[in-house]
Structure 1
Amino acid sequence: MSLSLKFRPKSLEQIVGQGKIVAVFKKFVAAGSIPHSIFFGAAGSGKTTMARVIASELNYDFYELDATSLKVEDIRKILSSHAGSLIKPLIFIDEIHRLSKTQQEVLLIPMENYAA
């Protein structure tokens, strides 16, 4: 395990910087639900870490995907495995600007219905 992974924050309390964003997400976590969110920032700024921490604190299944290699079937499998479940997954898609129109459409309906 790399040093950066070993010391990656495990809770919102451990995240340094981004104080306003962390404060907002602490409120969401306390309420037990988060809105669909897009994290934007430079590489290494903590986007993935923030998503992992949020998923952990809410006890959500966490899926880390990359839009450049993502298959529509991957999205469908995740969504179908959580269909009808009270526990929703947290799906983190890196490089979302690279999603194809088809990939976007597969995500659109569950997001509009807040099913994912």
Structure 2
Amino acid sequence: MPTFTTTEDCPEYYFEERCYIRELLNSEQTPGLSIAQARVLPGVTTVLHALKGTEVYYILSGEGVAEVGEERSTVTAGMLVHILPGKAQCIYNSGKEDLVFLAICSPRFLPEDYQSLGD
């Protein structure tokens, strides 16, 4: 894994959660951490899901509503959403622009640690 990476080095792909993902850091060399840039289109809600590990959303741009367990909050650029292991979560893009955020996972995100709780 290179020491320096740009977003151009990390191709964006569509994930079944109904968002676009760009894996910025997700490697066996850093098992304790992964960082992805997520992009949710206007009017879209991601699939309700849970992870085995801790996840943090850091909102870069756009606006939305994050749901974590029983809590809901409007989120905008500069906000942080802390999600404990096993908590149900989703995010809705309530704005007119793409909602873009970093999804920081500890330990690193692995597909087998993802549990869909909805459709």
More RCO (CA 8 Å, sep 6+): 2
TM tier relative to shorter chain: 0.3 to 0.5
Structure that is richer in helix per residue: 1
Normalised to the residue count of structure 2, the TM-score between the two structures is 0.34
- Asked which structure has the greater CA Rg, the reply is 1
